[in-house]
Structure 1
Amino acid sequence: MRTWTARAWAVLLVVAITGLLAPPAHADPVRLDPAEVEDFLDSRVPELMKEQGVPGAAVTVVADGEEVVSRGYGEADPESGTPVSPAETSFPTGSVAKSFTAVAVLQLAERGDVDLHADVNTYLPEEAHIPRTPSGEPVTLHHLLTHTPGFEDAMAGAVSADPDGHTSLQDHIARDRPDLIYPPGRFTSYSNYGIAVAGAVVERVSGRPFIDYARENIFGPLGMERSAFAQKEADLPAHFATASRSMLTPGGGRAPGPEIGSNDFPAGYAFATAPDMGRFMLALLGEGAYGGERILAPETVEEMLGRRAEVHPLISAMGYGVYERFTGEPRVVGHHGDFLGANMEYAVVPEAGVGIVVAANGDADADFQDALWTVVIDAFLAEFTGAEQDTLPDGAGQGGGAGEGERPLSDYAGDYHAARVDRSGPTMLPTVLGSLRPASVDGDGLRMSCSAAPEEQHWTRIGDGLFRSADGEETAAFIEDGGEVVGLVCDSYPMHPYVKVAWHQTPAPWLAAAGAALLVLLSMLVWPAAALVRRVSVRGAGERGADDGRERTPRAARAARWTAGAAGLVLAAALGTVVALMGTEAAQMAFFTGSPVLEIPLAVAALPVAAVLALTVAAWRRRWWSVPVRAHYTAVGAAFAVFLSVAWHFNFVWTPWS
């Protein structure tokens, strides 16, 4: 008996010591007063909705292992006037769905069914294999979950404009694979396709359709009864009450979000209520468990929410299916999602045990950093958890010049644009132009911008490869590879870094060539003026009753000029059509479906241009006109070719092989 007692005391002592030494789930859990939280939300959300034209929203706040507040605002459906019910209204999650997909992959990894660092082709059929890059490094599930596989951001084939026209997930990843444009692991280049591949792995390895797997292993255990993945909204369970979607139009108006069929649904086509998202956040904050059910082991949750893809310790990083909101204490992780007129964003503070989700059924008439969900979450975190962006290390930011062993500032100078770019589609030009971030040496620092706003300012070096903006609101870190500076990343946007490019890789030389070509084409206006002068001259000669003896222009030569003029008019009409289409719902759908609606107009213009080029050859062979006139016609033909070549480079000309 004494032996048993001694052993019991020893066990109890070990347990007690272990409990004292082990860090608690929440080092400093926060307990929130529901009334204070409600007052906070009620004073901010309706006002922002009105300012930004958002029809409806729902917010859920969780803390200390339970839901604190769930609030609904506005209308779930403006047409019917149905109000938002936080408990019943399911909102499209957009890319928040990536967090669910990451959980599914990590569940398989826990069971030993997949290895996060093995070649992902191990789990894919041969027709869906991802080719190796020249570096020879394979793409892994780790790369997919951190958006570092190196894919271009080609979205063609992600959705079908016909809700019933969707394809299977397996067919989508085999048919619509984008090109690999970066070595795996070099850049965080946000990839919907990469997460779709991760979902396809779940489907193949588990032997269950992905939609069923998520319901059985994530939503069901957590009691998320109004949450689901779908390929079309009509497939959702009958008890779902989904919010409508409200898209901003280029003219500043609003239009209903179109119904679609989703092919890459693990990346962004799920639905959830705000309280359901609260249960998901409580599971992440509860070390993988909620309501007596466990979806992940504690160590797996730590791995998911950890810094899995880091550029610099003082810059926010990517986790698995999540990213850090900014660098600071306490640490905040989460995800934002938007999809054709719907937005959702959630953030959890593991140290405080607090989480918040904001869902909205409309686009915000505001910049990304000023959007309703961003402003509400940032203000909530600051007021109730003390979490604010603060990336300056102690004592940093005091100096400027290069210290011993630091790179010269000139190494960082150059042109940068978003790493996330579709090189195969017509979004290439607006993406590169809109994200171009030139950096130049400016005294003891750099002059550049590194955020959603394009305004340039002075940046001071606060560490090797680390710079702080003059307004004190942003920190940037430069990315190095093989001893060279290859990119930079902003602290508040770890999922969207910039890649360094040579001057000839920027749009500038291409656009200069297109502009010069247009000037040459405008010179065709000389032809009708010259023809009028000739006509007047001939008429005058006729009135005098004498022929001036000049040789008449051959009919074929006149036809050549008429053909060039017609080509110019067709090209102008095609350009006008493309400009009119850009930013419309049709164009947005084209980006997702791969429709050539933006590429057909200039492809049509290429037909008369081909005729002009053929007539240019004929003009020289048959010696139409004088040499200077022939040279001018040749310059016009070359200008047509140059302009269409630039348009083709930026994917605005459809070809049979595209």
Structure 2
Amino acid sequence: MISLLRFLCTLKGGRIPGISLAVLLLCFCLVCVPVLADSDLGPIPDARSNPAVSADVEAFFDASIPAELAKYNIPGATVAAVYDGKLIFSKGYGYADIANRTPVDAGSTLFHIGSVTKLFTWTCVMQLVDEGKIDLDADINTYLADFSLPDTYPGQPVTMRNLMTHTAGFEDAIRRATVEDVDDLFSFRIYCRDYIPARVYPPGTVTSYSNYGTTLAAVIVEDVSGMPFEQYLQEHILTPLDLKNTHLSYLLPPESAGSLSSGYNYIGGTNAAITDTIFVIGPAGSISSTAEDMAVFLAAHMQNGKVNGAEILSEPAAALMHARAFTNDPRVSGICLGFYENYLNGERIILHGGDTNTFHSLFVIIPDKKTGFFVSYNAPGGTSARNDLLLEYVGRFFPLTETETVTQEIEHSGSFEKYTGVYQSNRHNYRTFEFFLQPPQQMTVEAGENNACLVLNIDGDSTEYIEVSPGVFQEKSGGPSVYGNMVFRENENGDVTFLCSENTPVLAYERVPWYSVNTFTSGLLSALNGSTT
């Protein structure tokens, strides 16, 4: 199976490599700190129909997370699980601060949640949609008070629906999206005004994950509500839900300042504390929170906007937010208004990942089963750990039954030449030097031996896919796959233009000519510079 690590790495909200390290020689040691393992739900033997047995959930996380921390050299993690609107389990594992041997506590230790922040921003937007103050399909320029987007595609304006589904058509851009020091932060409104990315696709054409788009939506929240975004968030979500340990600002209140976990990187056989990402684009990635606070927010969404007597969305607005709003191809999963879809073992999952330099989080709801969880790790190995955890969770509580079979391969005659070639992630910069600083991920597609399958190559790993319906390919090995089926999207002339993954709805891989291959581009630049690589 293609590594899930690469999938969620594509979603990293503005992560900038190369931040200087303050290297500390620290010993890795693992501890488990229980916080809550109580429920008023009785034991239910059939975990597939109802996984909400606290002891069973606790046993699962107690087995999985410590193993992941050891495997991926991660100092600490925090997790909370919810069933039917109730917190059924939460726990901290390992250390928030190795030097001081401070354990992670799921109720009090803050973790940066990265792009999971976006779900708070989109919830703010949906509140204003609910009140009739924002029209999802209106030109967003009608809401912006002091600047506007250029009319790149006349008659095809960017709408809020485009922003929420990442289909505005923006190129990716990282310049000035982060800073090295909190003292260097400036207004995200100024960022959105002064660093408008190019529009490289007409709106509604294809998804391409955009931090700028989410941040722009927060500017619109300000302009429509008449209050600063942080104040709006506090008054309309954090206070109603009693989320006292959730903060948008990097300047934490005194009572929380000492509760933030350190972030680490595993260097030379030990975990060293390093500086985490500092986002100018705060509404896209700067929230810090505890697992238990995140569980309340998760429960509110699980119950269509209501939890503990508070209502942050009407039921119709919540249902609209959780429904599929766009797909790159009807044969694959899509993206909702903020959340994105995955299908594992036949279960529809709505989720969002979040990444900074050191923290890696996952927010998961399985609507039909009324369950979900939030998890966050404080080192880069968390990208792989959370991926493993999701697969293990679904495999443990929602396994395929004996009557559920893998789709059968169809008989294929002729050549796979129509599909072979180079495909490039469409989440990248198109017009500036940033293209070369962070070249887009590429995959090559080749015909397998005797034209029996397709072979997809990413980052040196090869995976075989068999055709299960015209233009739809499934991993030959079978079993759960977060990438899911691969689908080749064609234009009106029958030419393949995009490769779309069933479970990566926030971007697509665009077919590109041979001279776009990264190795060729890098070699050419080296030659022009008179250097070798």
Provide the rounded CA distance (Å) in 2 between the counterparts of 1:239 and 1:512.
49
- Of 43, 55, 62, which residue of structure 2 is paired with 1:35? 55
Q: What residue is the counterpart of 1:493 in the other structure?
A: 504
Q: Is 1:378 matched with 2:397?
A: no
Asked if the contact 2:277–2:356 (Cα under 8 Å) also holds between the matched residues in 1, the reply is no
Q: Deviations over 1:63-86 (max 9, x none)?
A: 122110111111111222211111
SS of residue matched to 1:356:
strand
- Of 159, 182, 186, which residue of structure 1 is paired with 2:178? 159
SS of residue matched to 1:97:
helix
Name the structure with the higher helix share: 1
- Of 186, 189, 209, which residue of structure 2 is paired with 1:170? 189
> Structure 1: which amino acid aligns with 2:229?
F
**Quick one: structure 1 residues 504 and 377, their matched pair in 2 at CA, closer, same or farther if it must change by over 3 Å?**
closer
More moved, 320-329 vs 40-49:
320-329
> Structure 1: which amino acid aligns with 2:466?
T
Provide the rounded CA distance (Å) in 2 between the counterparts of 1:300 and 1:257.
40
SS of residue matched to 2:262:
coil
Q: What residue is the counterpart of 2:318 in the other structure?
A: 301
Q: What residue is the counterpart of 1:544 in the other structure?
A: none
Q: Deviations over 1:13-63 (max 9, x none)?
A: xxxxxxxxxxxxxxx972522112112111221121122111111111111
Q: What residue is the counterpart of 1:479 in the other structure?
A: 489
Q: What residue is the counterpart of 1:465 in the other structure?
A: 471
Provide the rounded CA distance (Å) in 1 between the counterparts of 2:104 and 2:507.
32
**Quick one: structure 1 residues 79 and 302, their matched pair in 2 at CA, closer, same or farther if it must change by over 3 Å?**
same
Provide the rounded CA distance (Å) in 2 between the counterparts of 1:92 and 1:133.
36
**Which structure would you say has the larger Rg?**
1
Asked if the contact 2:345–2:394 (Cα under 8 Å) also holds between the matched residues in 1, the reply is no
Asked if the contact 1:107–1:295 (Cα under 8 Å) also holds between the matched residues in 2, the reply is yes
Q: What residue is the counterpart of 2:279 in the other structure?
A: 262
Asked if the contact 1:487–1:499 (Cα under 8 Å) also holds between the matched residues in 2, the reply is yes
Asked if the contact 1:315–1:326 (Cα under 8 Å) also holds between the matched residues in 2, the reply is no
Q: What residue is the counterpart of 1:415 in the other structure?
A: 422
Q: What residue is the counterpart of 1:246 in the other structure?
A: 264
TM-score by length of 2: 0.82
Q: What residue is the counterpart of 1:592 in the other structure?
A: none
Q: What residue is the counterpart of 1:542 in the other structure?
A: none
> Structure 2: which amino acid aligns with 1:476?
M
Provide the rounded CA distance (Å) in 2 between the counterparts of 1:496 and 1:119.
23
> Structure 2: which amino acid aligns with 1:505?
S
Q: Is 1:456 matched with 2:476?
A: no
Provide the rounded CA distance (Å) in 1 between the counterparts of 2:460 and 2:339.
26
Q: Is 1:97 matched with 2:117?
A: yes
Asked if the contact 2:170–2:198 (Cα under 8 Å) also holds between the matched residues in 1, the reply is yes
Q: Deviations over 1:589-638 (max 9, x none)?
A: xxxxxxxxxxxxxxxxxxxxxxxxxxxxxxxxxxxxxxxxxxxxxxxxxx
- Of 241, 247, 265, which residue of structure 2 is paired with 1:222? 241
SS of residue matched to 1:410:
coil
Percent identity over the alignment? 28
Please list every run of 5 or more consecutive structure 2 residues that lacks an aligned counterpart in the other structure: 1-47
Provide the rounded CA distance (Å) in 2 between the counterparts of 1:517 and 1:267.
37
- Of 388, 397, 410, which residue of structure 1 is paired with 2:409? 397
Measured after TM superposition, the shift of residue 236 of structure 1 is 4.1
Q: Deviations over 1:212-256 (max 9, x none)?
A: 1111111211221111211xx22446335211111356x676443
Provide the rounded CA distance (Å) in 1 between the counterparts of 2:153 and 2:117.
32
Q: How many residues align?
A: 478
Provide the rounded CA distance (Å) in 2 between the counterparts of 1:237 and 1:195.
29
Q: What residue is the counterpart of 1:53 in the other structure?
A: 73
1:324-403 equivalent positions in 2, closer than 5 A: 324-326=341-343, 328-364=345-381, 368=383, 371-386=384-399, 396-401=408-413
**Quick one: structure 1 residues 302 and 253, their matched pair in 2 at CA, closer, same or farther if it must change by over 3 Å?**
same
> Structure 1: which amino acid aligns with 2:513?
A
Q: Flag the structure with more relative contact order, 1 or 2, with Cα contacts below 8 A and sequence separation at least 6.
A: 2
Measured after TM superposition, the shift of residue 101 of structure 1 is 0.8
Provide the rounded CA distance (Å) in 2 between the counterparts of 1:517 and 1:66.
61
More moved, 339-348 vs 136-145:
136-145
> Structure 2: which amino acid aligns with 1:377?
L
SS of residue matched to 2:376:
strand
Provide the rounded CA distance (Å) in 2 between the counterparts of 1:57 and 1:387.
29
- Of 190, 194, 214, which residue of structure 1 is paired with 2:209? 190
Asked if the contact 1:381–1:387 (Cα under 8 Å) also holds between the matched residues in 2, the reply is no
CA RMSD of aligned residues (A): 2.8
**Quick one: structure 1 residues 43 and 235, their matched pair in 2 at CA, closer, same or farther if it must change by over 3 Å?**
closer
Provide the rounded CA distance (Å) in 1 between the counterparts of 2:422 and 2:273.
38
SS of residue matched to 2:375:
strand
Q: Deviations over 1:509-540 (max 9, x none)?
A: 5445456667xx6xxxxxxxxxxxxxxxxxxx
Measured after TM superposition, the shift of residue 384 of structure 1 is 2.1
Provide the rounded CA distance (Å) in 1 between the counterparts of 2:406 and 2:386.
31
SS of residue matched to 1:341:
coil
Provide the rounded CA distance (Å) in 2 between the counterparts of 1:325 and 1:334.
8
**Quick one: structure 1 residues 460 and 394, their matched pair in 2 at CA, closer, same or farther if it must change by over 3 Å?**
closer
> Structure 1: which amino acid aligns with 2:428?
V
Please list every run of 5 or more consecutive structure 1 residues that lacks an aligned counterpart in the other structure: 1-27, 403-407, 522-571, 580-658
Measured after TM superposition, the shift of residue 159 of structure 1 is 1.9
> Structure 2: which amino acid aligns with 1:176?
Y
Q: What residue is the counterpart of 2:199 in the other structure?
A: 180
Provide the rounded CA distance (Å) in 2 between the counterparts of 1:383 and 1:445.
33
> Structure 2: which amino acid aligns with 1:412?
Y
SS of residue matched to 2:205:
coil
Q: What residue is the counterpart of 2:161 in the other structure?
A: 142
Provide the rounded CA distance (Å) in 2 between the counterparts of 1:53 and 1:426.
34
SS of residue matched to 1:57:
strand
